[in-house]
Structure 1
Amino acid sequence: PKRMGPFMVTRCMSSTNSACLATPFKIKGVNYSITSACSTSAHCIGNAAELIQMGKQDIIFAGGGEELDWTLSCLFDAMGAMSSKYNDAPETAARAFDATRDGFVIGGGGGMLVLEELEHAKARGAKIYAEITGYGATSDGHDMVAPSGEGGERSMRLALDTLPEGRKVSYINAHGTSTPAGDVTEVDAIRRIWGLGNVPPISSTKSLTGHSLGATGVQEAIYSLLMMQGRFIAASANVTELDPAINEGEIATKLVENVELDTVLSNSFGFGGTNATLVMSAYRD
């Protein structure tokens, strides 16, 4: 550029998102951003929950955003991570768990959850959508791109460790990006926890929305909450031929309606081997 403006630094800081919300809204509590690839906004939610549990905050806005830009598409395309087989029918390209999947479809956007200490929320008459009953965060320590599965498994186990007695996971919103390696690795990790034949219904909402990278964790937390409220499970779209490594009945390939979702689990795994798992349960007064 011919001229560098005085606000370029504040526009491109890794904490610009949080700063641009905290400043105009005069937020006096915590104000920082977490950067952990595609696990980012899920880590933000988990970190916010921990701060509230420690008594350091009463209420926190937690989430994330990702701007869809052509440069991001180029970078991921150069890695061979994005779908190219279905360019003539892009609406069918995101097909997690399908045998013919060939990569993810990039997306963008953002989302925000209001996390609040329970008594604080009740005192102001807030509508309570659910409780965060578990959070896990781990590192694969394995590869910059290829998931180990073991790290994701530990993340889920950590999140399930704090699930109250009597609660049962009714649905899993998988990370499920539609990559050849990642989808099966995640399902295998889920099987190791629940056991073959006992896996809760799984779907990937990315097949409907695309993959919003750092924003996907909060988006999928919101989608999971909407499913709890609406008593449905969104289908994992575009599965015309289930991957032979995945068993019939493990993936919800059709819309499931009139289902009671007591507890939902949402995975967000990122490049660099960073993993996050959120567990949310229906609120019981």
Structure 2
Amino acid sequence: MRRVVVTGLGMVNSLGLDKESAFSAILEGKCGIKTVELFDPEKQSSKIAGEITDFDPTTVMDAKETKKAGRFIQLGLKASAEAMADADFPEDTNRERFGVASASGIGGLPNIEKNAIICETRGPRRISPFFIPSSLVNMLGGFVSIYQQLKGPNLSSVTACAAGTHAIGEAAKSIMIGTADKMLVIGAESAICASGMGGFAAMKALSTRNDDPQASSRPFDADRDGFVMGEGAGALVLEVYEDAVARGAKIYGELVGFGESGDANHITTPTMDGPLRAMKGAYEMAGKPKIDYVNAHGTSTPVNDKNETAALKELFGGKENCPPVSSTKGQIGHCLGAAGAIEAVISLMAMRDGVLPPTINYTTPDENCDLDYVPNEARKADVNVVMSNSFGFGGTNGVVIFKKI
């Protein structure tokens, strides 16, 4: 099968509206989590999120068009435009062999909430005609394909917090088997609204450290008390290795392994076995290389962090053989369906720059979480192979491995 490489990246999250500023802030140990401003969180038990407060949707679409696209789509358009500009394709690129693989966990939840209220209080005739197309998850790929004029496969992954990583795998498969030569992967999420936060809070999944937002998300720390919602988008351009070389493209890395699995255990509580099998699948497909860095799913929930640590130790044959691991969710929150795409971008940039992003707010060791989590400060390192993990509700897991060329 054909080799697949990454030639363009884009990212927007609570620490930056482009990949370079966001990645720089991550390396500096900054935190984008604060009290929610997108709506009044007064009645919420968790009032904090990794919210993007300085995004202007008219920078990516005409003002009159913004009502047709949910915020997650707008953020996706931003990141995808950056990735496409970064890849720098010539004008004569065959758009019919260039597809899109999009991903989101919940999609247009704020619009669903808004129009449900309108329907109940003002009647169904007052619902916006743009309600459905602005909310559907696959409309992320639909809008991106129109704006970028990409006419190849148009795919969509809706697999909770593993969606962004699964989209990378789906895009790679399309290229490997020859149904496309190039694919734009875009994962985007914006579900910070009353019903979104209230729903996760009802499950006791969110941190309630409202008085100290910057320290609220604490991956692998003994005092972690739940995840913090985030929003944002990550985008990657994938293409055939030979095509990238022929046009002299900048290559961030080669996708050498991806693994997928299902827990078949519980709708929300993760296991160790499912994530481990996904990691094993990616690791074996990649040829069992020396992994230099793992960007963990690392949600800051008691169960996930313990299970992921145990799975990593099992995969690598003990604590002493595990590579450095970090979770960037302490800085930007958990971006749900966008997390895998964003964290793949971060992993590739870490490999590009030879630096490991930190796990911030790591102050109290947990006996069940005893790996090298790159605590609190970024670290220079020789990084040639990176792994990125994503696990989602429903017991769905995805893992990708990239190698420097």
Give the TM-score taking structure 1 as reference length. 0.95
Secondary structure in structure 1 of the residue aligned to 2:301: coil
Displacement of 1:5 in angstroms is 3.0
Any unmatched runs of 5+ in structure 1?
A: none
Match of 1:186 in 2: 308
> Structure 1 vs Structure 2: percent identity of aligned residues?
38
- Code of the residue aligned with 1:30 in structure 2: it is P
Cα distance in 1 between the residues matched to 2:293 and 2:166: 20
Greater share of helix residues, 1 or 2? Answer: 2
Question: Which runs of at least 4 in structure 1 moved beyond 4 Å after TM superposition?
Answer: none
CA distance in 2, matches of 1:162, 1:245: 29
Deviation at 1:138, TM superposition (A): 0.6
Give the aligned partner of residue 299 of structure 2: 177
Q: Does 1:76 align with 2:200?
A: yes
Task: Write the mapping of 1:104-143 to structure 2, written as runs, cut at 5 A.
Answer: 104-143=227-266
Amino acid at match of 2:272: G
Q: State the SS of the aligned residue for 2:302.
A: coil
- 1:7 maps onto 2:158 in alignment: no
Instruction: Choose from 28, 44, 58 the match for 2:181.
Output: 58
In the TM superposition, residue 19 of structure 1 has moved relative to its aligned partner by 0.5
The equivalent residue for 1:19 is 142
1:242 shift after superposition: 1.1
1:272 maps to 2:394: yes
- 2:52 is aligned to none
Superposition CA RMSD, Å: 1.3
CA contact (8 A) 1:232 1:255 kept: no
Q: TM-score, normalised by structure 2?
A: 0.67
1:256-267 matches, cutoff 5 A: 256-267=378-389
Structure 2 residues without counterparts, runs of 5 or longer: 1-117
Amino acid at match of 2:348: L
Question: Deviation of residue 256 (structure 1)?
Answer: 4.3
Partner of 1:56: helix, strand, or coil?
Answer: coil
Find the aligned partners of 1:235 and 1:5 in 2 and give their Cα distance. 44
Q: Distance in 1 between matches of 2:134 and 2:378?
A: 43
Does the CA-based 8 Å contact 1:227-1:234 persist in structure 2? yes
Q: CA deviation at 1:16?
A: 1.1
Query: Following superposition of structure 1 onto structure 2, how do residues 223-262 of structure 1 map, counting pairs within 5 Å?
Result: 223-247=346-370, 249-262=371-384
1:194-209 to structure 2, matched below 5 A, reads: 194-196=316-318, 197-209=320-332
SS at match of 1:138: strand
What amino acid maps onto 1:33 in structure 2? S
What is the deviation of 1:280?
0.6
**Which amino acid is the alignment partner of residue 96 of structure 1?**
P
- Tell whether 2:217 aligns with 1:94: yes
CA deviation after TM superposition for structure 1 residue 25, in Å: 2.4
Hey, what does 1:145 align to over in structure 2?
A: 268
| Structure 1 residue identity aligned to 2:343 | E
Q: Counterpart of 1:32 in 2: which secondary structure? A: strand
Alpha carbons 2:258, 2:282 under 8 Å: kept:
yes
Q: Number of matched residues?
A: 280
**Structure 2 residue matching 1:106: 3-state secondary structure:** coil
How many Å separate the matches in 1 of 2:165 and 2:307? 20
